[in-house]
Amino acid sequence: MVPRYVIDFDLKALPRLKTDVAVIGAGIAGLYTALQASEFADVVLISKRGLDDSNTRWAQGGIAAVTAKTDSPALHRQDTLIAGAGLCAYDAVDVLVHEGPERLQELIAYGTRFDKDEKGRYELTQEGAHSQRRILHAQGDATGAEIVRALSAKVKNNARIKVMEDHFVIDVITDHGECIGALVMQPDGELLFVQCSATVLATGGAGQLYRYTTNPDIATADGIAIAYRAGADIKDVEFIQFHPTALYYPGAPRFLISEAVRGEGAILRNIDGERFMPNYHPQKELAPRDIVARAIVSEMERTNSSFVYLDITHESETLIKHRFPTIYKFCLQYGLDMVTDWIPVAPACHYIMGGVRTDLHGETSTKRLFACGEASCTGVHGANRLASNSLSEAVVFGHRIVQRIKQLQPLADVPELSFSIERKQNPPDMVAQRLKLQKLMLRNVGVKRSEDGLEKALKEIERMDRLFGYEHRSTQAFECLNLLTAAGLTTKAALMREESRGGHYRIDYPSKDDLIWRKHIVLSLEHGVREESNE
């Protein structure tokens, strides 16, 4: 049983920092939202690592927005809806495609330098399931790093933003269903209460649920778990995108080989050297990611291999080194030359489509608590995210969150709340428990799922719930508890959804069932599991 709080506290005994807005997370969602809010409010930006340590920094492909005269919001909307496999929220997608271009211009105004051609025009590329070239990129394949560089510089020089690096948010504090601030562990292990009128969860994704992921080790589902414990609705978490092409090579991490490589002409071959994607989908290598990932797994099973090859050797050396300098250099460290070698790849956990359920202004079902970026579920992605929509979503809904916060009345007096339950001493090794959970999820809640595997996973996760009964005081322990919370939610939803759609594939229910399952699964601490129709 997941408790309301994972640590005991007494607010009147804690040091207190008062501010207008607290933003938790330092990726594109957190940095951008903090900058926007600082135009009218004092902001505390809390990062569990440094400002340059986030999922955004690793985003390679780019940001999707309509800028070309041959493109249109209607085409972008159509591509998004098709990729979302019938579960996108139409109004949220409409917001994204119409407001994305303006937010893109703000990123440029904040100092982001997207790549341009020799005539000074922005270079546009095409990725899987896009019908047009509408992806802007930076430094070839380092778009996220460039955005973080620009936004971080602005944040550091903003007098109204107090940056708290190496601070870990354990929980948000609520009073009668209203968020009143955050309980924070400082670098020395002492607790701090940050009191504020609005709290924004911009904590990133949940890639560390799995043993193999393209995400950094900080992607531990913190926002989802914190919001769930606070009573907020969690939606669509069974839909997890496994990136088809993560580097699979002895001694190398599961480094992301961007979808843009396929967008520029790379093809997939099995270990026998045969191109196989034409056998699986008309769009071949540019099919939606879930289809490509399952096709790769099928080929690996058919050929009894643990990887396939990505081949871009037919393209020019100039193109490869210009468009993919980061990937090229990384592979070269391990003796792989993209110009002449086929690159061994396999699917790895990449992105979670679901998260903390929000409205069109990023507000959760818990008052004064907002969610933005990958931690949120705005409805844009449906069952499967369209490539490069995530960076656009972060800024579009970050802007909308700030517009909503402007309308909030300042927080009234905060009661001196406390929480305490009986907890055991000497918890198990939580690093080992995290690895155990990751392996369990990989085996049973991965690219291909079944009732037997999901039930086995859920029973083991429920046994691991005993970990909540111990007293914990380390970031690693709290991260493990957050992953355990998210794992339970994901597995319950995956077991409940008896069909295959988008990032959720059941081998025992291999078809999409629009008659019964064109709806969402919503989970909350108070109301349990419920279904919600797709409007």
Which pLDDT value is given to residue 249? 94
Report DSSP letters for 253-299, one per residue: ---B--HHHHHTT-EEE-TTS-B-GGGT-TTGGGS-HHHHHHHHHHH
The separation between CA 37 and the C-alpha centre of its own chain, rounded to angstroms, equals 22
On whether the CB atoms of residues 294 and 367 are closer than 8 A, the answer is: no
Cα–Cα distance, 534 to 382 (Å, whole number): 10
Scanning 387-450, the segments in alpha helix (DSSP H) are: 389-406, 430-444
Asked about 473 being catalytic, the answer comes back as: no
- At 313, which amino acid appears? T
DSSP strand pairing (43-47 vs 161-165): parallel
Q: Which residues of 104-137 are buried (b: 16+ CB within 10 A; e: fewer)?
A: beebeebebebbeeeeeeebbbbbbbbebbbbbb
pLDDT at position 58, please? 64
Beta bridge partner(s), residue 376: 356
Residue 488 has φ and ψ, to the nearest 5°, of -65, -45
Q: Which residue has the tokens 């291909």?
A: 448
Instruction: Give the integer Cα–Cα distance in Å for 511 and 508.
Output: 9
Question: How far apart, in whole angstroms, are the C-alpha atoms of residue 302 and residue 156?
Answer: 52
Using alpha carbons only, give the angle 127, 521, 454 rounded to the nearest 5 degrees: 85
For the chain, 535 residues long, give each residue's pLDDT as a single digit of tens. Answer: 899 999 999 999 999 999 999 999 999 999 999 999 999 999 999 999 988 776 666 666 689 999 999 999 999 999 999 999 999 999 999 999 999 999 999 999 999 999 999 999 999 988 778 899 999 999 877 888 899 999 999 999 999 999 999 999 999 999 999 999 999 999 999 999 999 999 999 999 999 999 989 898 999 999 999 999 999 999 999 999 999 999 999 989 889 898 889 989 999 999 999 999 999 999 999 887 788 998 999 999 999 999 999 999 999 999 999 999 989 999 999 999 999 999 999 999 999 999 999 999 999 999 999 999 999 999 999 999 998 999 999 999 999 999 999 999 999 889 999 999 999 999 999 999 999 999 999 999 999 999 999 999 999 999 999 999 999 999 999 999 999 999 999 999 999 999 999 999 999 999 999 999 999 999 999 999 999 998 6
Helices (H) and strands (E) in the chain, counts: 14, 23
Catalytic residue among 289, 400, 497, 501: 289
pLDDT score for 535: 64
